[in-house]
Amino acid sequence: MNNETDDRSEAVELDPMDPNTMASLKHWGDPLDLPGGREMASDVAIDCGWGRLIFGQTFSNPRELANLLRLEREGRRDIALYVREPHLVLSHAPQDLFMDPSLTFRLDFRRYRKLPARPETLVIRELTAEDDQPKINRLHMARGMVPAYDGFYTKLNDKPELTVLVAEDRHSGEIIGCVTGVDHREAFNDPDNGCSLWALVTDPQTQVPAVGEWLSRHLIEMMIARGRSFIDLSVMHDNEPAINLYEKLGFRQVPVYCVKHKNSINERLFIGEDPEEDLNIYARLITKEARRRGIAVEVLDAEGGFFRLSLAGRWVTCRESLSEMTSAVAMSRCDDKAVTRRLLQKEGLRVPEQVTAGDDETIENFVSRHRAVVVKPARGEQGRGIQVGLTEVDEIKAAVASARAFCDKVLLEQCVSGDDLRVIVIDYQVVAAAVRRPPSVCGDGSHSIGELIERLSRRREAATDGESRIPLDAETERCVRRAGYSLDQVLPGGEWLQVRTTANLHTGGTIHDVTADLHPVLSSAAVRAAKALEIPVVGLDFMVPDVSGPDYAIIEANERPGLANHEPQPTVERFVDLLFPHTRSQNSKHLNQRSDA
């Protein structure tokens, strides 16, 4: 779950139609006397790493608030919340500022109901100096959120108003979520005794359920223990999954608004509707980057992902990441997996043994030479018709018959063990690398395996804009049965079960960035493969025992790789650089540069 890091805070009764609500709103912006002679601080803005959180109720002069917002640093995102008179603030800088189209929600802690136990697979704790902070930044970037600047997290000991929590997958040890809490009493001596939740993010690839909910709950319970009265957050008005979660926790919408500075990060919030909204996510990311550079976009067939880009008399037609710069010959080389393998083998690259599935004798001879076999259609994409790790002749024959529904020519391939690695090469340079993992479910002791798969499938679909889902088909049933279960059995609590053998995104697989860890031999092999195929944009599928080691086997090449799957690596920027090299700018940077912004 992701609330787009737009979460806020305020001080008002829950029902916006209640007269008490408006009475409470009246004092915002006025200096208040507090018990013990302490006053609420004035003109407060706190550094949150991604930008400044500006408390509007501490400003008495709207012009000063507007001027502060206009001083926003490049690459940051400042937010002014609890602005008493937002229309007056906007009037002082109408060209530079805008009203954020988000909703503010509040949880009165009297409404909160604690659940008895957290899932066994999830650990939630405060961030420590030993945590891999660049990986936390990559989580935010993968969700299109602004990462904290380099060194910010080391300052948390000097910021008592901030609490940063991380969620850790107990099974893998990976950090799969993060949230920031702001204590208003510590920040500006808040007379309303509130706090707020910010920058909630979860790994879009995690298979652990309800990470966002448990991060929110942990923060809520910490703030209750501190004696705070309520917690606020803000969420985009159209983020229905997040809104549904917050309402389930007891949050209610309140009439609180925020003002932001116009910048490239939040451009989509003030320029109006996206003219390419009917395109899928793979095409839409490219057209968005093109328009950012002043390149005109014409949608030719939204359903098929076809569009035309034009600038200064130059036109390029694309289908997602497949463009006119990829020749028909190069495309046909990738389209037939047997041809791909022969060309790569001729180049001296390592590929698994492969034969065309013919008569029973061919199948039996191939199985006798290899412990496990992959059956795949010679043509096809998105993992359709592929079965991995088959060992019995009868099941291989059945898989061959099934694969022929997708292509008459079916291949038998040596099954190579290891991690499924996708490497993106653009303009004969490696731009991104990611390990792909098959979908797995974790038992909770109450739901059937089929129900767990359906729940995970819904989360994968939501995280990928509808591109990833786990089919409850014969292959899923085979994988579950091979593990000794059936779909209607209950999986014991804490036990993990892999439910597919393939790691394709479209059948529920997850993608984990490993660009920084890629061994030079793997990088070199990917570039050599692209050159052998004479293709300028390609996704190469490797099987590797370790991404940081030199051993590999290349199993496929994809002429239309999904660039959206490799965020936050700059795959889309490099693609547009290839098509329109004169639009390349200093702002087009690699991840290690961007994460230090």
Q: What is the pLDDT of residue 594?
A: 32
Mean pLDDT throughout 131-136? 86
Q: Answer yes or no: is 149 within a domain.
A: yes
- Contact assessment for residue 107 and residue 249, using Cβ atoms and an 8 Å cutoff: yes
Closest CA to 432 of 342, 547, 297: 547
Strand order in 194-202's β-sheet? 122-126, 162-169, 175-183, 194-202, 230-236, 102-108, 252-254
| 190 CB-contact burial (10 Å; exposed 0-12 / middle 13-18 / buried 19+) | buried
Closest CA to 560 of 318, 274, 397: 318
Residues 6+ apart with CB under 8 A from 24: 11, 12, 13, 192
Q: Answer yes or no: is 81 within a domain.
A: yes
Mean pLDDT throughout 299-317? 92
Q: Answer yes or no: is 93 within a domain.
A: yes
Q: What is the pLDDT of residue 274?
A: 66
- Contact assessment for residue 343 and residue 337, using Cβ atoms and an 8 Å cutoff: no
Q: Find the length of the chain.
A: 597
Pairing mode of beta strands 510-513, 429-437: antiparallel
pTM: 0.73
Q: What is the pLDDT of residue 38?
A: 62
What is the CATH classification number for the domain harbouring 177? 3.40.630.30
Q: Answer yes or no: is 116 within a domain.
A: yes
Q: What is the pLDDT of residue 7?
A: 36
Least reliable range by pLDDT among 292-301, 326-335, 342-351, 494-503:
494-503
Least reliable range by pLDDT among 161-165, 232-236, 462-466:
462-466
| Helices 337-346 & 520-533 angle (0-180, nearest 10) | 110
Pairing mode of beta strands 102-108, 252-254: antiparallel
Last residue of a domain, one of 252, 269, 286: 269
pLDDT > 70 fraction of the chain, expressed in percent and rounded: 90
Nearest-angstrom CA–CA distance, 7 and 50: 13
| 422 three-class SS | strand
- Name the helix (H) or strand (E) containing 194: strand 194-202
Total count of domains within the chain: 2
pLDDT band per the 50, 70, 90 thresholds, residue 462? confident
Is the predicted pLDDT of residue 25 greater than 60, yes or no?
no
Least reliable range by pLDDT among 92-96, 122-126, 135-139, 259-263:
135-139
Q: Answer yes or no: is 401 within a domain.
A: no
Tokens representing 237?
Answer: 């008005």
In order of 52, 156, 189, 220, the CA distances from 183 in angstroms are: 15, 13, 9, 11
Q: What is the pLDDT of residue 407?
A: 86
Q: What is the DSSP letter of 371?
A: S
Last residue of a domain, one of 215, 240, 269: 269
Q: What is the pLDDT of residue 24?
A: 39
| 32 three-class SS | coil
Last residue of a domain, one of 209, 239, 269: 269
Q: Answer yes or no: is 257 within a domain.
A: yes
Nearest-angstrom CA–CA distance, 512 and 143: 13
Is the predicted pLDDT of residue 175 greater than 90, yes or no?
yes
Q: What is the pLDDT of residue 177?
A: 95
The parent domain of residue 482 ranges over 439-500
